[in-house]
């Protein structure tokens, strides 16, 4: 979006600062994290034009978890970090985005993913299997390794 250039640059800066501080502060026992929210119902997304745009994208299947995120869901991630639930982790990115960060894989996938409950992941045509679906369509995986 043309009006979001500065916003996007600032987010990229936060990502780099997260990595930099994670390296520099680890020796002091300070862990650093990045939280990346997706399309969250906030004041920033409350205009009619923004809602119309993202509602259409959600209807088209924009993300694997295909709905608006809630501020409380971002809060849960932050609360978990604040509690110290990840003591051996630093520089991690917490995507609270319904899978938006997977969009390349999610959109480009071509082979149906099946799960064999006794033998793990397998490709199409092997039984007993359960096909996972999203909105009535097969959920796909981008790797041909699942076919073997």
pTM, rounded to two decimals: 0.67
Residue 69 carries which DSSP code?
B
Active site annotation includes 7: yes
91, with CB counted inside 10 A (0-12, 13-18, 19+), is: middle
- The tokens for 13 are 């800066």
- Residue 108: predicted pLDDT: 57
Tell me: the pLDDT tens digits for 65-109? Answer: 999 999 999 999 999 999 999 999 999 999 999 999 987 776 555
Q: Give which of 18, 32, 40 is closest to 81, Cα–Cα.
A: 32
Structure tokens at 19: 């990595």
Query: Of 4, 7, 33, 54, which residue is the catalytic one?
Result: 7
Element housing 8 (H / E): helix 5-25
């Amino acid at each position: 979006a043309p009006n979001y250039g500065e916003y996007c640059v600032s987010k990229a800066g936060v990502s780099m600062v997260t990595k930099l501080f994670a390296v520099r502060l680890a020796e002091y026992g300070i862990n650093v994290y990045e939280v990346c929210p997706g399309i969250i119902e906030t004041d920033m997304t409350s205009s009619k034009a923004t809602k119309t745009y993202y509602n259409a994208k959600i209807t088209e299947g924009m993300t694997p978890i295909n709905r608006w995120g809630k501020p409380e869901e971002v809060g849960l991630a932050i609360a978990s970090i604040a509690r110290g639930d990840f003591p051996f982790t630093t520089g991690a990115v917490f995507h609270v985005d319904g899978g938006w960060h997977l969009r390349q894989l999610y959109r480009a996938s071509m082979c149906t993913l099946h799960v064999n409950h006794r033998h793990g992941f397998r490709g199409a045509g092997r039984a007993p299997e359960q096909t996972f679906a999203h909105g009535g369509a097969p959920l796909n995986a981008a790797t041909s390794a699942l076919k073997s």
